[in-house]
Amino acid sequence: MRYPPGFLRVRWTIFGLLAISYMLVFFHRMVPAAVASDLMAAFGTSAAALGSLAAMYYYVYTAMQIPSGILADTLGPRISVTLGSLVAGGGSIMLGMADTFAVASAGRFLVGLGVSVVFVGLMRSNAIWFSERQYGRISGLTLLLGNLGSILAAAPLVWLLGFFTWREVFIGIGAISILMAVLTWLIVRNGPQEVGFPSVRQIEGLPEHASHEGRIWEALRRVYANRSAWPGFWVNLGVTGNMFSFVGLWGVPLLRDVHGLTRAEASGYTTVSLVSFALGCMAMGWISDHLGLRKPVILVAALVSALAWLALLFLPWSPGWSAYLVYGFLGLAASGFIVTYGAAKEVCEPASAGMAISLVNTGLFLGAAIMQPAFGWIMDQTWDGTLVEGVRQYAWGDYRNALWLAFAFAVVALVAALRVRETHCRNVTVS
């Protein structure tokens, strides 16, 4: 395929800017794990309360998925990502300056509100600037780059905390988010036509997809009434949302409380999860596009996730290679979610791609929103009252009880994966 002169430069510039904004989304998402003990000490919280603070991000993120899809399909990525980055930056600064738990929760809420529109906007932009046969690969690259943010929120952040306070980190990342909002507004465009290029489908010699023609609520109803779009929702809830909950909050405290690792040592294991997740996203998208299949990739990912949680529950793992393997497989399995976006948009009308993506994305963040406080609540039920420097310390039995819930979520995902409709990497609603 021959692109017009300058097309590729503009496309990759826009993709790069939105990808950097997405890296910040992941950093915001995963940072509570590295500063969990700092937050518990600063605000005197229990495990359940800390889980609720961390999950505040997921609560609003989940609630915003329908609006995010509508914004992406109507206003376009430029406006939605600009506004989202501004709000997230302000929320992060508020969290860094908070003197009460309530203010910290409000800041975390604003962070979740802001970043909720970034991913769907980016994926909608990808659907416009790249061909359908490239979607799995570009989605994988998107998640690979985004996950650099989560990796930075693990071991590198722990190192950074040796020089800066947790408050300074939140303020700094907030300032960077605001800078990205300005750059997005100045540079990003919603489609090739806005900068004088033909659309990707025109370049490919294909007819344009039909638009909503203003009937946005009817389009939304059709997406949510489409049974073939829903399996990805449940897969993401039980696999990737599950992993985000654990790695983003409880993975470090587990290794600290049960195995006596320092925060820096424990963060190395969550870093392995996040690196395997990032590389897996790239690999899963490529494999799916290469095979021309969606369902087998999703099914294998769900199966590996269930087996990894069983390994945490029953195998005699300990810090070292066995723990690295288990944490790594949790991240690798979670990367299969990237294929659910292609599977979802390919069973819905092309003009509703943003809404379809937001539907399956809702499952991911609903899973994390449920799991983070529920995991902490289960541990609180059997906590024996042990405190270390004012921070609650939990036993292996407390964590093991909560891990059973994680396994149950994975089983739900495995059942849903069996219901995924195969699309062979093409939109099945158009001829």
Q: What are the tens digits of pLDDT across the range 114-125? A: 988 888 888 888
Judge contact between 316 and 212, C-beta under 8 A.
no
Nearest-angstrom CA–CA distance, 414 and 304? 9
Domain-embedded: residue 426 = no
pLDDT in tens, 244-271: 889 878 898 899 899 989 878 888 898 8
Question: Could you write out the DSSP letters of every residue in 136-193?
Answer: HHHHHHHHHHHHHHHHHTTHHHHHHTTTS-HHHHHHHHHHHHHHHHHHHHHH--SSGG
Report the pLDDT value the prediction gives residue 411, as an integer from 0 to 100.
Answer: 97
Helix (H, G, I), strand (E, B) or coil at 388: strand
**Is 349 among the domain residues?**
yes
pLDDT at 135 over 80: no
Task: Kindly state whether residue 146 falls inside one of the protein's structural domains.
Answer: yes
Q: What is the pLDDT of residue 212?
A: 53
Mean pLDDT of 79-84: 92
Number of domains making up the chain:
1
Computed over every residue of the chain, the mean pLDDT equals 86
Tell me the C-alpha distance between 195 and 189, whole Å: 8
Confidence (pLDDT) at 348: 87
Q: pLDDT at position 214, please?
A: 57
Residue 46 reports pLDDT greater than 90: no
Q: What tens digit of pLDDT does each residue of 279-323 get? A: 888 888 888 888 888 999 999 999 999 999 999 999 989 889 999
- In the DSSP assignment, the letter for residue 250 is I
What is d(CA 414, CA 406) in angstroms, rounded to the nearest whole number?
13
Q: Read off the CATH number of the domain in which 35 is found.
A: 1.20.1250.20
Over residues 192-208, mean pLDDT? 76
Mean pLDDT value of segment 161-190: 91
Q: Over 80: is that where the pLDDT of 58 sits? A: no
Q: Is residue 427 part of a domain?
A: no
Contact by Cβ (8 Å): 61, 361? no
Residue 319 lies in a domain: yes
| Cα 128-230-405 angle, rounded to 5 deg | 120
Domain that holds residue 370: 7-417
Q: Is residue 236 part of a domain?
A: yes
* Residue 207 domain-assigned (yes or no): yes
List the structure tokens of 78: 């430029």
In a domain, 294, yes or no: yes
Q: Write down the pLDDT at residue 1.
A: 62
